[in-house]
């Protein structure tokens, strides 16, 4: 199995865990089950850190074109906003509903952007 396929599969597996835990968290509501909430956050951190490591490695081995840099920036921004909105949504005090909606919608954009990044880098060294 090539490392590209392995990397994409691992990130995909992290996203599957994040989404499954996220849907259960929404279903259970507050107070969120601790184990599920922790797994959701850990998988999110693992996915983001691993994605950044892949991008860093590829960036060192070949120069990035403007379009590639743009999609990487968009992806990282989407992930940051998703994580921040998730953090705000999980607070005990009442928060504007927009944060919850951001956290319900942005994960799909983040997954799509991540897929574009990983696909774009496939076979590049």
User: What residue ranges bind ligand HEM (CB under 6 A)?
Assistant: 18-19, 22-23, 25-26, 29, 32, 40-41, 44, 47, 79, 82-83, 86-87, 89-90, 100, 103-104, 107, 110
Q: Give the residue with the Cβ less far from ligand HEM, 1 or 92.
A: 92
**Three-class SS state of 16:** helix
In the bound state with ligand HEM, the residue whose beta carbon lies nearer, of 32 and 50, is: 32
Minimum Å gap between C-beta 49 and ligand HEM is 11
C-beta of residue 72 within 8 angstroms of C-beta of residue 117: yes
Query: What do you get for the CA distance between the two ends of the chain, in Å?
Result: 16
Provide, rounded to whole angstroms, the least separation between the CB of residue 117 and ligand HEM.
14
- For the bound state, the minimum distance from the C-beta of residue 119 to ligand HEM, rounded and expressed in Å, comes to 18
CB hemisphere CA count around 49 (13 angstroms)? 6
DSSP designation for 85: H
Helices then strands, counting H and E runs in the chain, come out as: 4, 0
Q: Compare residues 32 and 64 and give the one whose CB is closer to ligand HEM.
A: 32
Residue 58 vs 110, nearer CB to ligand HEM: 110
- Cα–Cα distance, 125 to 123 (Å, whole number): 7
């Amino acid at each position: 199995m090539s490392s590209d396929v392995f990397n994409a599969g691992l990130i995909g597996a992290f996203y599957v865990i994040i989404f499954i835990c996220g849907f259960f968290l929404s279903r259970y509501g507050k107070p969120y089950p601790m184990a599920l909430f922790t797994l959701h956050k850990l998988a999110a951190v693992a996915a983001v850190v691993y994605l950044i490591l892949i991008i860093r490695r590829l960036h060192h081995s070949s120069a990035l074109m403007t379009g590639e840099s743009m999609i990487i920036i968009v992806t990282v921004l989407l992930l940051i906003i998703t994580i921040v909105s998730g953090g705000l949504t999980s607070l005990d005090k009442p928060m504007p509903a927009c944060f919850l909606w951001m956290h319900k919608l942005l994960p799909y954009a983040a997954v799509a952007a991540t897929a574009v990044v990983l696909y774009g880098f496939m076979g590049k060294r």
